[in-house]
Structure 1
Amino acid sequence: MSTLEAMAVLKIPHFEEGFIEKVADDLVHRSLKVQKGERVFLSYDPDARAIVHRVAEKILSLGAFIDYQQRDGQLENLKWAKAELRFLKELDASLLSRIQRCDCYLSVSCPSEYKGFKLDSRRSRLSSLTSKAQREQIVDEDRTRRCGLYLPTYQQAELDNMSFEEYKKVYFKACDLDWIKIHNAQEILIEKLDSGKELVFEADLQNPDPKKRTNLKMCIEGMTFANSTIAKNYPGSEAFSAPTLDSTEGTYYSPGRFFWKGQLIRDIYLKFEKGRVTDFMVSSGHEAMQDLLDTDFGARAVGEIGIGTNPELIEDVSDGLLFEKKGASFHVALGSPYSIETYLGKAVKLDNGGESSVHWDVTNMLNRAGGSRILLDGEPIQINGRWVDDRLFVLNPRNQA
C-alpha cells in the first residue's frame, strides 16, 4: 500500500505541493508579513503538519524564529468533560508567556476527528469564559499580529456531502484570489457603509412560513466597518462592524448546519426585539441553542454584523469561518463585539458596548431562491446577491457575476 493510499484509509488529509506552497507563502508574506528578527508562535493540529512545516521553513529562512504547540483535540475534550472545576478555571500561564513573547501568532486547525462533547451548564459556561480570557491574552492587536485558518478535513467534506478532493478544490479556489483587488473594492463598500445610519437585510419575504423570512433592521450610525481580507483569517473576505446595541429588530432565518461546542444545530430562526433575541426555533439542536443563549446576559445581543465577499466561495459549506466569507452572504454574531480600536492600522468603531463570553456567527445567504436585498438608508446596495455599484463587481459571486 502506498503512503497516499494509507493516508486515505486512515483519513489523514493529503495536500498537494502547489496548495502547500500557495497557502504557506500567503500566510508568511501577506497575512502575517513576517520580518527578520521576529518571533512567530505556531499552534496547530497534527494533521496540519505539512503546511505548518512549510510555514516554519519560510519563517526561518527570513531570519525570524519560531515557537510552537501541537494540539490534541481529544485530550482537550476529555479535560473539559472530566477535570475538577478548580483546575479548569486556571489559564496556562507558561503557554501564554511563550505566546506573548512573540510578534505573530498563527493557528492552523485540522482536527482528525469531529466529535462533539456535551458539557453540563457549569462546564459549558466556564469553557466559554476561559476561552474568552485566553483569546484576550493572545489577541493583543497592538502587540501581536495573528491569523487563523481551518484546513479541509475528511469529516468536513462528509458533512457537506462532498468527496475530500471536491472539498479541497472548493477551499483552494477560495484562497486563489487577488487580495489587493478584493481589499480595494471593500474600501469602496466600507466608505458607503460608514456614511450610513440604517442597514436592512431582506431575504425570502414571500415565503408562506413567516419563520423562514429574514427582515432584519439595525442602526449603524456612529459605527464603522473593518476591511478584512487575509490578515486575520485565511481565506477571506468580509466587511464587518456591529449595530448599536439596542437597535436590531425583526426576524432572521438561516437554513443549514451550525455547531455550538461540538453540538449540531440546524435551520435557525431568531426574533430580535430592542437588540436581543426574544424567540428562536431550530429544526434540531434546541438544547444546544438554548444553552448558547443562556450562557450569559449578553449572549442574546448582536455583537457583530458582517458581509461576506469571497467571490469564489459559492458551494454550501458548514465550516463557520468559510461560510461567513461567502460572497452574497451576511452574518450576525451573537454575544460580544470586537473591542479593538484599530484594525490593520486604521481607526475603527466596532465595540457597541455589549459584553459576553460568547461570540457565535450565524450566516445567511442572499442569493437563494426567494429574492433578497441589502438596503442602506432605504436604498438598495445589493439585490439578489449582486452589488448595485459596478465598482464592486469583483465581489460578486463568480456564478452570477
Structure 2
Amino acid sequence: MDPRIREHAQIIADHSADVQSGDDVVISAPAVAEELAVALHEACAERGANPVYLNSSSRATRAVLKNREEEFETPGHLLALYEEMDAYIAVRGDVNATEQSDVDPETNAAYRRALQPALRERLSKRWCLTQFPASGSAQLAGMSTDGYENFVWDAVSLDWDAQREHQSQMVDILDDADEVRIKSGEETDVTMSIAGNSTLNDYGEKNLPGGEVFTAPVRESVEGEVHFDMPLYRQGREIEDVRVRFEDGRVESYSAARNEEVLDGVFETDEGARYLGELGIGMNRAIDRFTYNMLFDEKMGDTVHMAVGAAYEECVGEENEVNESADHVDMIVDMSEDSVIEVDGEVVQRDGTFVFEDDF
C-alpha cells in the first residue's frame, strides 16, 4: 500500500472526523478506493471505533435511477443507520465519471428529494468528504494517474493549522459584516446580506482537502446577475457558461451554453433550489488547477463559489431563515482578473489578492 494512503486515513481519523474509542463509524467508498477504506478500518480499529463499510457505486445507483417506475421513497434502513452512527466518512473516486450521464435530470431530482431526510440526519453527525485519486477522476482532470495522485495527496496533506490561521483573517472580516458585493468583469455584479449569519472556516475537517471560508446569504437578500465562468460537472455532464439573475433572493432567470437541461433539473428540485444557500471564498493556494471536481475546484484561491439549495444550519443566525432544499449545487466565478469582493463598501479582495496579503 502506498504510504500516502495510510497518511490520508490518519488525517481523516485524527483531524477531520475526530474518531474516538467506541464510535460507530460508517465508511462509504467505491471499490476503486478499497485501499483507503482498508486504511480507514485500520485507523478506526487502532482507536477502538466500530467501522461499517458501504460500497458506494455510481453504476449501481444508475441501475436504480434507470429502472424504478414507482416514486422514490426514503430508505428507512439507511436513515436508521445514520441515526445510530457517530461519524460518517465518504470517499469519492471514479472509474467512469460519466456513468450517470444518461439519467434524466428530473429523475435525479426526485431521487434527491427522497433521500433528503437521510441526508439531513447524516449532516447532523460528524462527517468528512474526501477524494481517492482514481484513474477515472484523473482522466476527467486531464492528468496522468501518477500526476493526479500527487495532486490529491499534496492537497490533503497541508499544514492545516497554518491554513486555519490564514483563513481566519477572512472569517473575522465577514463575521462583522452586513453586506457582500461580488463584481467580476462585465457580467457579474451581485449583492447579498449576511447580517446575523456566521462564517465558517473550512480547514480540512468536513471537506478534505479544505481551503475555504463560507457563510449563508440572508435568503431573500440576493440581488443581481452572476456569470459562473468556470464549468460545472454534474450527473456526468459538463455545464458551461451558466448565467443567473437573482431578484429578492430567488433565481428568476438562467441560461447555460451547454447542458442547460441539467440546470432545469436542479432548479426544479424544489423551491429552495431557487435560492442561494452558500457563499464561499476559495483560499487554498495549493490547489492551482481546475480538475472538474468541486471538492477541489471550489477551494482554489482566486475564486468564489455560490451554491443554490440547502444552507448549512451552522451558518444561519437564529433570526434568519435556513434555506432548505434536497439539493446543494456549487458554481464558481473566477476572480483572478477585473474582479473585487466588497464587504460593507470596502474592497477586501482585488483580482484574487486579499487585503491582508502582502501584494494587495
TM-score, with structure 1 as normaliser: 0.83
Identify which of 236, 253, 269 aligns with 1:262: 236
CA shift, 1:365, in A, is 2.0
Q: What does 1:185-200 align with in structure 2 at a 5 Å threshold?
A: 185-200=166-181
CA deviation map 1:283-322 (0-9, x unaligned): 1101111222222222121111111111201111210111
Equivalent residue for 2:120? 136
- Contact kept in structure 1, 2:283 and 2:301, CA below 8 Å: yes
Hey, what does 2:345 align to over in structure 1? 378
Superposed, 1:265-284 pairs within 5 Å as 265-284=239-258
* 17, 22, 38: which one aligns with 1:53: 38
Among the aligned pairs, what percent are the same residue? 26
Q: Distance in 2 between matches of 1:22 and 1:385?
A: 31
After TM superposition, give the deviation of residue 333 of structure 1 in Å.
0.5
Give the match for residue 311 of structure 2: 337
Matched AA of 1:233: N
Structure 1 residues without counterparts, runs of 5 or longer:
1-15, 206-212, 342-346, 394-399
Q: 2:145 aligns with which of 158, 161, 164?
A: 164
Quote the offset at 1:350 in angstroms: 11
Q: Deviations over 1:216-273 (max 9, x none)?
A: 2111111111111111011102111111111111221122331333333112111222
CA contact (8 A) 2:276 2:307 kept: yes
Q: Which residue of 1 aligns with 2:86?
A: 103
CA distances 1:136-167 after superposition (whole Å, capped 9, x unpaired): 12222xxx211111222323322332222222
- Post-superposition Cα deviations, 1:46-68, rounded to whole Å, max 9, x if no partner, equal 01111111111121012222111
> Which amino acid is the alignment partner of residue 224 of structure 1?
S
Distance change in 2, residues 1:290/1:284 (3 Å): same
CA contact (8 A) 1:42 1:69 kept: yes
Counterpart CA distance in 2 for 1:256 and 1:189 is: 23
Selected match of 1:325 from 299, 308, 312: 299
What is the alpha-carbon distance in structure 2 between the residues aligned to residue 161 and residue 349 of structure 1?
44
8 Å CA contact 1:303–1:334 kept in 2: the answer is yes
Q: TM-score, normalised by structure 2?
A: 0.92
233-242 vs 93-102, which deviates more? 93-102
Count residues with an aligned counterpart. 359
Task: Please say if 1:150 is aligned against 2:134.
Answer: no
CA contact (8 A) 1:339 1:351 kept: no
The change in CA–CA distance for 1:120 and 1:48 in structure 2 (over 3 A counts) is closer
Give the match for residue 182 of structure 2: 201
In structure 2, the CA distance between the partners of 1:21 and 1:349, relative to structure 1 (3 Å rule), is: farther
CA 1:102–1:351 in structure 2 vs 1: closer, same or farther (change >3 Å)? Answer: farther
Compared CA separation, residues 124 and 36, structure 1 to 2 (3 A)? closer
2:158 counterpart (162, 173, 177): 177
Note the C-alpha offset of 1:96: 3.2
Which of 18, 34, 37 aligns to 2:19? It is: 34
Deviation, structure 1 residue 127: 0.9
